[in-house]
């Protein structure tokens, strides 16, 4: 596709040159006007300009000179100025004159300039508009495209109507490139004038139907920007988008996948089993909102995934192999949010692969893995070694890897992880070493087996030479001790000894807090520490002072004999502290613990207040709450809701109507039916019962009619093929209100039509008319099921999930190209259609001819031929036309070499009567010799893998 695209672009360059020639004429007409205005403007400005630096002045002269090379040189310098962020707006009049220059390079640079400054010089910018308007009508697609691109980039509100018109026209353009450009222009216009929303949505709706891979990504992008909430626009295009996905360019894939993720969450039911640990919240919410009854129902009923849901998962899976990291991440998040629990694992490998990409990519991917690994350890555990930290990693990468390793830790691997952590603690990157100690603390609380090991390891770290390491260890030990305060007085004593050497305030404060909290376990040491603190109180940091006051208060309550004076001294120091926080706290503590007349009641509870058992802090991942955001989004990365973030909705309790996604197929049928009704069958009965009974009666007599009727009836009888089943339901919806009845009735009719006349007439009819039924018929043995499925698969290559081989269906594919010739001679072909349908009727259930095929064409033509009522009819006919083409005959044996016997063969493209998988070959033997030939038969040696149905010896 890339190559194709590139060749198109190269054409564009050539075509540009052509366009410029034509644009030259335009310039002649334009010139008088702008130059007058420009002169006026430049005159008025000249006074100001003189004060400016001379550089711009000579640029202006160069631009106004007659020499192309000078102009080009000037424009290059101007673009240089723009790129440096310098102001070059005063050159606008001089530059805009060159908008219709025939020099392509110059013109490009003028475009660059125009797009940059048009907003500031709106009046002058208008002068260039007509150039673009003219180019929009150019026969060359790339000139139309680039004209629209620049036109829509000029942010001048006054041209909104012109842009609107141009977009609408371009959206119906025959060239996918131009349609792509129009999809981009939609966003630009929307940001320029949001009032145009309604009209733009119409254009988006139209473009969403587009089948080109080039357009898909861009139009979904504008959908996301303009009307992300109009999910109803997606229904009809859902299957098409899924099927196109692999071939869309990579950036478009990202946009489409994230949109489809959101879509799927609104349309399908949860594939996550009840009771699964994964995302319990969702399930709960699901049941809370439901009645008890429903819950029972849901539990009893096994979950069956919607085929469309499956389609999405299946079609995105290959993209995990994309080289574009954004695409891989996007698929990964799609699986995370949409796939059944057991299938999510397939993304692991690809995500780990992304870790070998650039640093910034690693950063984002690691963030996402961190969130995932909290909920699903198993996913990443086999790849644990990929998260080992390298000394060359950036700090933020290191901390993320650490986070993930901690999340992955369990009883089995904790020893390996702790060993790894030991090396990290020694790292020269102290911030990282501190983070490692925190991580060890988390492991210790999460896995009770290793708590003691971790604790002793951390205590060892207390004698580390590095201050930050020691401080961090103290803080973590404090938290650990809190979780299990029993029998750790040894450690507290050890820390008290270290107290003098620790200078980091957080660590000092932590030790003081520990002393106070567990002062009953270290009754001798605690007052001593307080004594030391009293000495250095004034020199301490605020946080240490606060904890000193705390310690003093607690000791006063438990051991007032020894510490009463010390406490009072400290409270006095605190009373006159510079920090109001400390003065405040001191005042509070004094009132609380020291009994006096005023503080009656509270005083009694002082002990209970200060020495109440405190809940242990929970050491948990900072990524704990990130799963509220969709993975891979900016919001997830920042952990705050970014502007324009679209919430991922919860699964619906009951799946919305699935058939909304079928609409694509039914639409053309609806168009088609009335037109036929008018022309041929005015008094067509409306009710289903009648309709079908009618059908049965009329069938034998009125070929064309009944074929049409039974086409719908037979298609409604389909049961297995997913696509055809849906078709049938629509069809029956269309023709009758009661689909159940109709399908039962139709089944009869179709089976009848098949069984009776089939064998008898087949042999006769086929040669009688040279026309061949569409190739789809070869599959018809399967109770009429084949043709429908096949036709639909060929019709909407994208929309059907059926696996039917569409190779045979070349005829239905060709009409797109030939449709124009067909229109010119519709009459002749109406006849042929009748014939074909007669044939259909006799041989098979006639389903394939009409409904599905008309849908093929009309959906593909929709954008181009809308409003042409004939097109639908002719398209039906179109399908059959190839069969009337001359049969290509191949010579097998020339009569000279065959001594009078010549053999020719051709492929009649008829269904083989013996087996659907066989191909019929018609061999014509002509005997031009005098001898008569006998015993003609097929030789024994048939090549392997070839199955020949032998005919009897003639």
Query: Interface residues for another protein in 776-805 (CB under 8 A)?
Result: none
* Residue 13 vs 304, nearer CB to another protein: 13
The DSSP code sequence of 427-480 is -S-HHHHHHHHHHHHHHHHH-GGGHHHHHHHHHHHTT-S-HHHHHHHHHHHHHH
430 versus 906: smaller Cβ distance to another protein: 430
CB of 429 to another protein, least distance (A): 9
| Contacts of another protein in 644-663 (CB under 8 A) | 644-646
To the nearest whole angstrom, how small is the minimum distance from the Cβ of residue 388 to another protein? 10
- Kindly state the smallest distance separating residue 128's Cβ from another protein, in Å: 17
Task: Kindly list the strands in the beta sheet with 889-893, ordered across the sheet, starting from the edge strand earlier in the chain.
Answer: 889-893, 901-906, 922-927
419 sits near another protein (criterion: CB under 8 A):
no
Closest approach of another protein to the CB of residue 389, in Å: 11
Integer Cα distance of 130 and 111 in angstroms? 14
d(CA 188, CA 533) in angstroms, rounded, equals 67
Q: Tokens 């009032």, residue?
A: 195
Q: Which is nearer to another protein, 347 or 454 (CB)?
A: 347
One symbol per residue from 664 to 703: x for binding another protein (CB under 8 A), - otherwise; what is it? ----------------------------------------
Cβ proximity to another protein: between 358 and 561 the closer is 358
What is the residue-wise DSSP string for 849-886? TTHHHHHHHHHHHHHHHTT-HHHHHHHHHHHHGGGGSP
Name the minimum Å distance from CB 237 to another protein: 19
Nearest approach, Cβ of 762 to another protein (angstroms)?
37
Inter-residue contact 688 to 741 (CB < 8 Å): yes
Q: How many CA atoms lie within 13 A of 786 on its CB side?
A: 19
Contact positions with another protein (CB under 8 A) in 208-227: 218, 221
What's the N-to-C CA distance of the chain in angstroms?
53
| Residues numbered 168-187 forming contacts with another protein, rule: CB under 8 A | 181, 184, 187
Query: Counting contacts by CB under 8 A, is residue 447 touching another protein?
Result: no
Residue closer to another protein (CB basis): 114 or 514: 114
Contact track, another protein, 396-415, x by CB under 8 A: x-------------------
Q: Which of 37, 466, 528, 620 binds another protein (CB under 8 A)?
A: 466
Which residues between 187 and 206 bind another protein (CB under 8 A)? 187-188, 191
Residue 807 has a CB neighbour count (10 Å cut-off) of 8
Restricting to residues 104-123, name those near another protein by CB under 8 A: 108-109, 112, 116, 119
CB contact at 8 A, 248 and 215: no
Cite the DSSP H helix spans in 612-769: 634-638, 663-679, 688-699, 703-717, 722-735, 739-755, 758-768
Binding of another protein at residue 464 (CB under 8 A)? yes
Distance CA 838, CA 880 (A): 13
Query: Among residues 75 and 582, whose Cβ is nearest to another protein?
Result: 75
Q: Which of 52, 137, 230, 426 binds another protein (CB under 8 A)?
A: 426
Least Å distance, CB 597 to another protein, is 53
DSSP string, 642-662: PTTPPPPPPPPSSPPPGGGGG
CB of 582 to another protein, least distance (A): 29
Q: What's the token pair of residue 787?
A: 């043709």
Rounded Cα distance, 398 and 393, in Å: 6
Q: Which stretch binds another protein (CB under 8 A): 131-139, 361-369, 488-496, 533-541?
A: 361-369
- The reply to whether 250 sits near another protein by the rule CB under 8 A is yes
Give the one residue of 276, 565, 642, 933 binding another protein; rule: CB under 8 A.
642
Nearest CB to another protein, comparing residues 162 and 326 = 326
User: Which token pair is 677?
Assistant: 């009704």
Query: In the bound complex, what is the minimum distance in angstroms from residue 173's beta carbon to another protein?
Result: 16
For 561-586, letters b (16+ CB in 10 Å) and e give ebbeebbebbbebbeebeeeebeebb
Under DSSP, the state recorded for 925 is: E
Mask 251-290, x = binds another protein (CB under 8 A)? x--x---x--------------------------------
Neighbours of 208 (CB within 10 A): 20
CB-based burial label for 629 (10 Å; 0-12, 13-18, 19+): buried
For another protein, the closer of residues 635 and 729 by Cβ is 635
* Minimum CB–partner distance for residue 132 and another protein (Å): 15
249 binds another protein (CB under 8 A): yes
Nearest Cα to 171, choosing from 139, 203, 214? 203
Contact status: 5 vs another protein (CB under 8 A): yes
Pattern 126-165, another protein, x by CB under 8 A = -----------------------x--xx-x----------
CA distance linking residue 686 with residue 684, whole number of Å? 6
Q: What does the per-residue mask of binding to another protein show for 81-100, with x meaning CB under 8 A?
A: -xxxx---------------
What dihedral do alpha carbons 902, 908, 914, 919 form, nearest 10°? 90
Please report, as residue ranges, which positions from 301 to 360 form the binding site for another protein (by CB under 8 A).
Answer: 318, 321-326, 328-330, 349-350, 352-353, 356, 358-360
Q: Which residues 6+ apart lie within 8 Å of 702 measured at CB?
A: none
Contacts of 466 (CB under 8 A, 6+ apart): 430, 433
Report, in Å, the least distance between residue 354 CB and another protein: 8
Site for another protein in 595-634 (CB under 8 A): 632-634
Q: Give the largest Cα separation in the chain, rounded.
A: 143
Q: In terms of Cα–Cα distance, which of 215, 92, 135 is closest to 149? A: 135
832 makes contact with another protein (CB under 8 A)? no
What DSSP string runs through 820-832? Answer: HHHHH-HHHHHHH
Interacting span for another protein (CB under 8 A) from 636-644, 656-664, 695-703, 744-752? 636-644
Per CB under 8 A, which of residues 371..390 are in contact with another protein?
385, 390
Size of the site for another protein (CB under 8 A): 86
Whether the CB-CB separation of 751 and 836 falls below 8 Å is answered with: no
Least distance in angstroms from the C-beta of 513 to another protein: 28
> Least distance (Å) from another protein to the CB of residue 2?
5
């Amino acid at each position: 596709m890339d190559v194709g695209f590139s060749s198109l672009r190269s054409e564009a360059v050539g075509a540009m040159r052509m366009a410029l020639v034509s644009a030259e004429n335009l310039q002649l007409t334009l010139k008088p006007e702008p130059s007058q205005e420009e002169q006026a403007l430049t005159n008025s400005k000249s006074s100001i300009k003189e004060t400016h630096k001379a550089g711009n002045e000579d640029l202006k002269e160069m631009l106004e000179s007659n020499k192309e090379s000078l102009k080009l040189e000037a424009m290059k310098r101007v673009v240089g100025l723009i790129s440096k962020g310098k102001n070059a707006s005063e050159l606008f009049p001089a530059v805009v004159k060159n908008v219709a220059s025939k020099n392509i390079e110059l013109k490009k640079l003028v475009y660059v300039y125009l797009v940059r400054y048009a907003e500031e010089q709106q009046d002058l910018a208008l002068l260039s508009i007509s150039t673009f308007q003219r180019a929009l009508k150019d026969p060359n697609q790339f000139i139309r495209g680039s004209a629209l691109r620049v036109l829509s980039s000029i942010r001048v509100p006054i041209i909104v109507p012109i842009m609107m018109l141009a977009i609408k026209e371009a959206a119906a353009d025959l060239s996918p490139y131009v349609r792509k450009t129009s999809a981009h222009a939609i966003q630009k216009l929307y940001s320029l004038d949001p009032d145009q929303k309604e009209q733009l949505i119409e254009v988006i709706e139209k473009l969403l139907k587009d089948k080109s891979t080039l357009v898909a990504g861009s139009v979904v992008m504008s959908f996301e920007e303009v009307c992300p909430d109009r999910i109803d626009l997606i229904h009809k295009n859902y299957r098409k988008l899924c099927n196109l996905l692999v071939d869309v360019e990579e950036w478009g894939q990202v946009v489409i996948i994230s949109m489809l993720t959101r879509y799927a969450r609104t349309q399908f039911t949860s594939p996550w089993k009840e009771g699964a640990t994964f995302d319990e919240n969702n399930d709960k919410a699901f049941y809370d909102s439901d009645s008890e009854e429903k819950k029972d129902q849901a539990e009893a009923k096994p979950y069956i995934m919607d085929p469309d849901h499956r389609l999405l998962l299946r079609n995105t899976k290959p993209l995990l192999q994309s080289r574009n990291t954004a695409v891989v991440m996007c698929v990964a998040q799609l699986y995370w949010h949409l796939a059944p629990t057991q299938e999510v694992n397939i993304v692991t490998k690809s995500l780990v692969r992304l870790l070998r990409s650039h640093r910034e990519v690693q950063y984002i991917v690691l963030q996402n893995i961190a969130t995932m690994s909290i909920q699903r350890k198993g996913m990443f555990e086999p790849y644990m070694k990929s998260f080992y930290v390298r000394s060359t990693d950036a700090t933020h990468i290191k901390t993320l890897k650490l986070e993930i390793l901690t999340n992955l830790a369990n009883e089995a691997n904790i020893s390996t992880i702790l060993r790894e952590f030991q090396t990290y603690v020694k790292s020269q990157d102290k911030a990282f070493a501190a983070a490692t100690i925190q991580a060890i603390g988390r492991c210790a609380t999460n896995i009770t087996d290793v708590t003691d090991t971790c604790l002793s390891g951390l205590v060892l770290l207390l004698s580390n030479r590095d201050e930050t390491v020691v401080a961090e260890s103290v803080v973590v030990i404090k938290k650990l001790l809190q979780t299990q305060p029993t029998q750790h007085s040894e450690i507290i004593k050890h820390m008290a000894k270290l107290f003098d050497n620790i200078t980091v305030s957080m660590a000092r404060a932590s030790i003081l807090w520990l002393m106070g909290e567990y002062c009953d376990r270290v009754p001798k040491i605690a007052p001593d520490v307080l004594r030391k603190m009293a000495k250095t109180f004034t020199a301490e940091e605020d946080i240490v002072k606060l904890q000193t006051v705390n310690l003093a208060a607690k000791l006063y309550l438990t051991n007032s004999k020894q510490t009463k004076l010390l406490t009072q001294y400290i409270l006095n120091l605190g009373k006159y502290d510079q920090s109001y926080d400390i003065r405040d706290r001191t005042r509070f503590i004094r009132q609380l613990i020291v009994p006096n007349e005023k503080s009656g009641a509270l005083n009694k509870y002082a002990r209970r207040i200060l020495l109440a058992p405190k809940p242990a802090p929970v050491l948990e991942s900072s990524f704990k709450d990130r799963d509220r955001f969709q993975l891979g989004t900016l919001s997830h990365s920042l952990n705050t809701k970014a502007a324009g973030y679209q919430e991922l909705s919860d699964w619906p309790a009951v799946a919305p109507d699935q058939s909304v996604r079928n609409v694509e197929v039914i639409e053309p049928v609806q168009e088609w039916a009335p037109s036929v009704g008018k022309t041929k069958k005015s008094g067509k009965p409306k009710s289903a019962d009648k309709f079908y009974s009618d059908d049965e009666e009329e069938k034998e007599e009125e070929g064309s009619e009944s074929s049409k009727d039974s086409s719908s009836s037979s298609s409604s009888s389909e049961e297995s093929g997913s696509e055809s089943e849906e078709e049938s339901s629509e069809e029956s919806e269309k023709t009758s209100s009661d689909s159940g009845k109709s399908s039962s009735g139709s089944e009869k009719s179709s089976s009848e039509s098949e069984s009776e006349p089939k064998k008898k007439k087949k042999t006769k009819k086929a040669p009688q008319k040279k026309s061949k039924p569409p190739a789809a018929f070869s599959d018809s043995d399967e109770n009429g099921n084949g043709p429908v499925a096949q036709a639909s698969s060929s019709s909407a290559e994208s929309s059907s999930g059926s696996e039917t081989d569409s190779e045979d269906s070349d005829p239905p594919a060709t009409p797109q190209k030939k449709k124009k010739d067909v229109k010119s001679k519709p009459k002749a072909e109406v006849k042929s259609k009748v014939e074909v349908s007669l044939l259909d009727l006799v041989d098979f259930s006639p389903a394939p001819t009409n409904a599905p095929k008309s849908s093929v064409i009309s959906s593909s033509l929709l954008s181009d031929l809308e409003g042409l009522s004939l097109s639908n009819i002719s398209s039906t006919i179109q399908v059959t036309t190839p069969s009337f083409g001359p049969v290509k005959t191949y010579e097998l044996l020339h009569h000279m070499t065959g001594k009078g016997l010549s053999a020719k063969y051709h492929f009649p493209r008829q269904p083989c009567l013996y087996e659907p998988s066989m191909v019929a070959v018609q061999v014509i033997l002509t005997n031009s010799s005098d001898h008569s030939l006998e015993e003609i038969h097929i030789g024994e040696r048939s090549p392997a893998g070839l199955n020949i149905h032998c005919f009897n010896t003639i």
